[in-house]
Amino acid sequence: MADMEMDRDLLSVGASWFLSTARERLDGFLDAGSFVEVLPPTERQVSPHLDLFGLPAAFDDGMIVGRGRLGGREILVAAQEGQFMGGTFAEVSGAKLVGLLRAAALGPDRPAAVCILFDSGGVRLQEANAGELAVAEVMRAIFNTRRAGIPVIALVGGRAGAFGGAGLAAATCSSIVICEQGRTGVSGPEVIETNEGVEEFDSRDKALVWGVTGGRARRILGGADIYVEDGASAFRAGALAALEAARVPDLSALKAEQRRLANRISQAGDARSVRELWSRFGIADAEAARNMSDPDFQQLVSSVQEGSHAAR
């Protein structure tokens, strides 16, 4: 028992969010002992399609959903397991997340928020049609939940990042909390290189990849709202801050978001390097910004143009 308590202390204080499994992240993120899973692995809700391809299934299909407490507040929570088929969206995993969001917006017990721990490369290729439909339904459910006055908070820091449908769904949320190791975007580096050529985007150039899709880049460019250190306690604090700052997406918020996106394109749409891109947002020394400590970066980024806005 003492060893179990020590393990949980390590998860909640010092363990890497990036290296943890989805269940380890939930254990460190939520109030101790508060998580109650819906459709746990014992229910055997597996993909009906993977067996056709001779691929092993997971009893939770890589999506963990349930309820718990965050700082004493009742929330609904979902976590993707990036180590199972890249955390991809498919028929069962998508349905579990859609059901959770609908329960938040329409159920009798109103949660303080819905937190989604993204760790996904997008849609599962073996279930592409179902996965694409699932992403569309997830995005609609996120917006309906927000419209009902319930914040939906995205947390991005896993090994798969949040790309493709996951990147789109994360962008639909009330706010995005990200760490340096987190990555997010629509198309991943390999996809861009395959379609546009290595001259346009070299996926092997890690400085380029992290300078465009990494957590620090996304925070500087406004693609993420809160930057935290790589740990469960930091993500927990970031989610609580996002919960306090969330707003209902009324017409004024939507107009502000549209202006923000238009300004971003105007400001940096023709940038041809990471250094130039970051400088457009007030980061004079991109190399120094990439190498500084997390606390120093948090202080620096608070001064850039995207540091505060009335959008989302």
pLDDT above 80 for 1: no
Residue 253 covered by a domain = no
Note the pLDDT tens digit of each residue in 240-289. Answer: 999 999 888 888 888 888 888 898 889 888 988 888 988 988 898 988 99
Compute the mean pLDDT over every residue in the chain, rounded to the nearest whole number: 90
Residue indicated by tokens 């909640």: 12
Q: Which domain holds residue 108?
A: 16-184+224-247
Residue 35 covered by a domain = yes
Q: Which two tokens stand for residue 102?
A: 């609908």
User: What's the number of domains the chain is made of?
Assistant: 1
More confident residue, 12 or 238: 238
More confident residue, 207 or 116: 116
Note the pLDDT tens digit of each residue in 131-178. Answer: 999 999 999 999 999 999 999 999 999 999 999 999 999 999 999 999
State the Cα–Cα distance between residues 148 and 140, nearest whole angstrom.
12
Residue 237 covered by a domain = yes
Give per-residue burial for 168-191: e unless 16+ CB within 10 Å, then b. bbbbbbbbbbbbbbbbbbbbbbeb
Residue 20 covered by a domain = yes
CATH assignment of the domain containing 115: 3.90.226.10
Residue 198 covered by a domain = no
Residue 143 covered by a domain = yes
* The pLDDT value given to residue 2: 44
Residue 87 covered by a domain = yes
pLDDT above 80 for 11: no
Q: pTM for the whole thing?
A: 0.91
Residue 116 covered by a domain = yes
